[in-house]
Structure 1
């Protein structure tokens, strides 16, 4: 079952179960996927759906940071709840050691020697670890490896 089909099934189950909050978040995810399909005039595969969900996670992380800075814990709580629902559909994240190993492999395969090659290395890692690695951490590890 594709990720999009899984979202649709979970939406139906949330409707049947009367889980209004969860239903709202799943509808937001499906709307984001559908919007991207309409904008780009393509049918999204699982990898592209994961990219869309990662983007939604990043938006919510940024929102939580801003809400906490503004002392709006009530709004931050809502965003954290949405992050929990979205996170259930994302693959398990790589740990620090896994990211470091991937960066070492990327440096070796791309032949990177200096900071000028950072884009190639990050691009390589992004292709291999789509949705499983925090790209901010990847960027830090690449900088450290090429420094």
Structure 2
């Protein structure tokens, strides 16, 4: 089952079970999906959907931080609950050990010796982590630490 079909069928199930938070979150995901398909002029691949879901998560994280700074904890909690729902559609997250191994292998593969080689190492490490969910900032920090 494609990721889009899974999201739509889960949205229908959430509506039937009257799960308001899940329904509203999946409706928001569906709207974003539809907008991206209109922009592209066709169906999105699962990889493109995953990229879109990651951007939605990032938006929610930023909103939650803003709400917390503004003293609106109930709204921050809602944003974090939406993040959990959206994350359930992402591939399984890479463990810190897997990320560290991918970075070490990428450094060995590219022959990187200084921070100037960071771009090549990042590209190689991300290729090794393809199909897994990971935080690019974590990978970047690890590459910087290993190359300095």
Same fold (TM > 0.5)? yes
Task: State how far apart, in whole Å, the 1-side matches of 2:36 and 2:112 are.
Answer: 34
Task: State how far apart, in whole Å, the 1-side matches of 2:98 and 2:67 are.
Answer: 32
Aligned length: 147
Task: State how far apart, in whole Å, the 2-side matches of 1:31 and 1:128 are.
Answer: 32
TM (norm. structure 2) is: 0.91
Q: How far does the alpha carbon of each residue in 1:87-113 deviate from its partner, in whole angstroms, 9 at most, with x for none?
A: 111122122211110101111222322
Partner residue in 2 for 1:18: 18
TM (norm. structure 1) is: 0.91
Instruction: Name stretches of at least 5 consecutive residues in structure 2 with no aligned partner.
Output: none
Partner residue in 1 for 2:60: 60
Where does structure 1 differ by over 6 angstroms across 4 or more consecutive aligned residues? none
Task: State how far apart, in whole Å, the 2-side matches of 1:133 and 1:50 are.
Answer: 12
Partner residue in 2 for 1:72: 72
C-alpha RMSD over aligned residues: 1.5
Q: How far does the alpha carbon of each residue in 1:53-107 deviate from its partner, in whole angstroms, 9 at most, with x for none?
A: 1111111111112211121101101101101111111122122211110101111
Task: State how far apart, in whole Å, the 1-side matches of 2:39 and 2:123 are.
Answer: 24
